[in-house]
Structure 1
Amino acid sequence: MFEVLVYVYENYWQGDACPELHQLSRKLTAVGFEAEEIQAALVWLNGLNIAAQNTQVGLPDGSAVNAPELALVNTPPGFVTQSAGSLRVYSVAEQDHLGAQALGFVSFLEASGVLPPHMREIVIDRAMAAPGDPLALDDLKIIVLMVYWSFGEEPEALVLDELCDDTEFRVAH
């Protein structure tokens, strides 16, 4: 499934250029991906599209947040952001499925200020929908890229480098 997601990201990095799911399925088949991998990736992408659209809609009544002290630059309109002192507690199922490496990486991205809370929740949701126990760190990085992609954003160059870098060949200083 992750090979298909990487292909989609590389070939349709501008999210609006990506065809509808049924057309995408035909294109992926023509490229040579297996039907099972394509189906799993399309189901996963559909869940990503739904999560991103629901996040961008805002509050059900269409009202905006009138608390400027809570507003952050990367927060969609209509959402109350978490306070600076709040803490995300991961369920046992999330801890088991994601593993220590993936949770540590999510915390690193949050602390760096590049993964706002609304995007973090989508990353966690899509990671829980992905295969693997625990989820491989490289797979989580693909998920983070796809979440950025779903919002039509490209991560900053240093973040993109961290997400795309193969840590196997890194030399510790």
Structure 2
Amino acid sequence: MMDILMYLFETYIHSDAELMIDQDELEDELLRAGFHQQEIYKALHWLEGLAALQQGERLDMATGSANSTRIYTQDETLRLDVECRGFLLFLEQVKVLTTETREMVIDRIMGLETQEFTLDDLKWVILMVLFNVPGNENAYTQMEELLYSTEQGLVH
């Protein structure tokens, strides 16, 4: 499923290509690209969840103070290893993620139907969330710079 999401992000969103509105055409394109039907449905459902977050429909979150600490549930710690949780904390500390966008990222991670989840997967999910949430353009640019800058030794 992550492969489909990354494909869609790189092909349509990040490249400024025109996103096909027709879901059937999009499904056909993904099938031609070699993805399996069931995984395509899962990815499209995941994107619908992202759109719902963007519109503020899905996330019930208590906002914490600036010095509060996020405690992860058992399911979250199974999906997000120490390295991933540390990276999320780092991004909050450097103001790339807010409490709200962090919770959106965690929601979308938990919405993935995968047993294997890596730090690289986390970075993609963060980019997708930041790109899709209005008002986070600067955070998105910072995240891109953190990921793509060869001068930054912290995140590579």
**Aligned position for 1:70:** none
* Whole-angstrom CA distance in 2 between matches of 1:118 and 1:42: 23
**Aligned position for 1:139:** 121
Whether 1:13 and 2:6 are equivalent positions in the alignment is no
SS in 2 for 1:94: helix
TM-score normalised over the length of structure 2: 0.76
* Whole-angstrom CA distance in 2 between matches of 1:164 and 1:40: 28
- The structure having more radius of gyration, on CA atoms, is 1
Unpaired runs of 5+ in structure 2?
none
Contact 2:101 2:129 (C-alpha < 8 Å) held by counterparts: yes
Contact 1:4 1:38 (C-alpha < 8 Å) held by counterparts: yes
**Aligned position for 1:76:** none
**Aligned position for 2:49:** 47
Whether 1:163 and 2:144 are equivalent positions in the alignment is no
Contact 2:11 2:17 (C-alpha < 8 Å) held by counterparts: no
TM-score normalised over the length of structure 1: 0.69
Residue identity matched to 2:19: C
**Aligned position for 1:24:** 26
Deviations 1:135-171 (A, max 9, x none): 2111111111110122255522x521433579xxx79
Q: What is the percent sequence identity of the aligned residues?
A: 35
Deviations 1:114-141 (A, max 9, x none): 0111111110011112244462111111
* Whole-angstrom CA distance in 2 between matches of 1:27 and 1:110: 37
Deviations 1:76-125 (A, max 9, x none): xxx99532232222112211221111111111111110011111111001
Unpaired runs of 5+ in structure 1?
58-78
